[in-house]
């Protein structure tokens, strides 16, 4: 079975508070981007194998989220061995959710391959055990996201009448390091949901990614964002903890 795990962008990302368990409560809107995707092949095999190609994966196979998904299902559902091949196109450390998407599509693949019959509620519950961003990719539809990223609410948002351009500064950002440096602000709770209803050309002044404050005006990320605005974007932002930047343009 072959799947195409796609990317996502964050429209706004506000860190509200730090929890006792070390994680952070946040507000964001996740929006799927289908133009950039990895390629995931999952087939039954005599022995378990995980291989990868494309953009280099900087970890041991047993630390890859796809491997962790297999281990979870092997322990709880006693599934047969599988071979996973992952071809990476989504840059690692970009904030586009590639690793979470790969893991979630592996969950979908195993559910389909072995006809486990698990519904979307169960799949979301399993994916939340793998990573905070993973449940989003079960439905793969725009969502208002709260909690640690695991509480998803439907939102009516359709950007199909706009062009979304991605920019990839050659910078790899550690999500853990970014969260260690961020200063939560309880006053921002709920602002993204309120402001997303405004016309898109007003988002620039009302919807922000808190992690951009970790970069000074001379950083590549901020320069790329300004270049997007200079090129006519009506809204531009870093996604996730970075380093990718996206820009929304009117269609000509």
Concerning whether 133 is annotated as a catalytic residue, the answer is yes
Active-site residue, selected from the candidate residues 88, 102, 108, 133: 133
Catalytic residue, chosen from 8, 88, 108, 143, is 8
DSSP symbols for the chain? -EE-PEEEEEEEEEEEEE-TTS-EEEEEEEEEEEEEE-EEEEEE-SS-EEEEEESPP-S-GGGSHHHHHHHHHHHHH-PPPEEEEEEE-SPTTSSS-HHHHHHHHHHHHHHHHTT----HHHHHHHHHHH-TTTTHHHH-S-EEEETTTTEEEE-----TTEEEEEE--S----HHHHHHH----GGGTTHHHHHTTS-GGGGGGT--BGGGGGS-TTSHHHHHHHHHHHTT-SEEEE-TTSS-EEEEEE--
Active site includes 8? yes
Question: Active-site residues: which are they?
Answer: 8, 133
């Amino acid at each position: 079975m072959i799947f195409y795990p796609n990317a996502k962008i964050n429209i706004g990302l506000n860190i509200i508070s730090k929890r006792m368990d070390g994680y952070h409560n946040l507000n964001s809107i996740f929006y799927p981007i289908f133009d950039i995707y990895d390629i995931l092949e999952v087939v039954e095999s005599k022995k378990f194998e995980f291989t990868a190609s494309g953009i280099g994966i900087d970890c041991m196979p047993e630390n890859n989220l796809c491997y962790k998904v297999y281990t979870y299902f092997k322990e709880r559902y006693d599934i047969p061995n599988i071979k996973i091949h992952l071809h990476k196109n989504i840059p690692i450390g970009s904030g586009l959710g590639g690793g979470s998407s790969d893991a979630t599509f592996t969950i979908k693949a195993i559910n389909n391959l072995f006809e486990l019959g698990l519904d979307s509620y169960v799949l979301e519950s399993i994916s939340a055990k793998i990573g905070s961003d993973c449940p989003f990719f079960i439905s793969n539809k725009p969502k208002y996201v709260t909690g640690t990223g695991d509480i998803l609410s439907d939102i009516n948002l359709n950007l199909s009448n706009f062009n979304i351009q991605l920019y990839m500064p050659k910078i790899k950002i550690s999500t853990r390091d970014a969260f260690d440096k961020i200063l939560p602000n309880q006053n921002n709770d709920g602002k993204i949901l309120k402001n997303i209803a405004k016309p898109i050309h007003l988002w620039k002044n009302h919807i922000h990614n808190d992690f951009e404050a970790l970069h000074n005006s001379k950083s590549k990320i901020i320069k790329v964002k300004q270049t997007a605005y200079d090129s006519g974007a009506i809204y531009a932002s870093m996604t996730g903890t970075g380093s990718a930047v996206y820009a929304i343009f009117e269609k000509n």
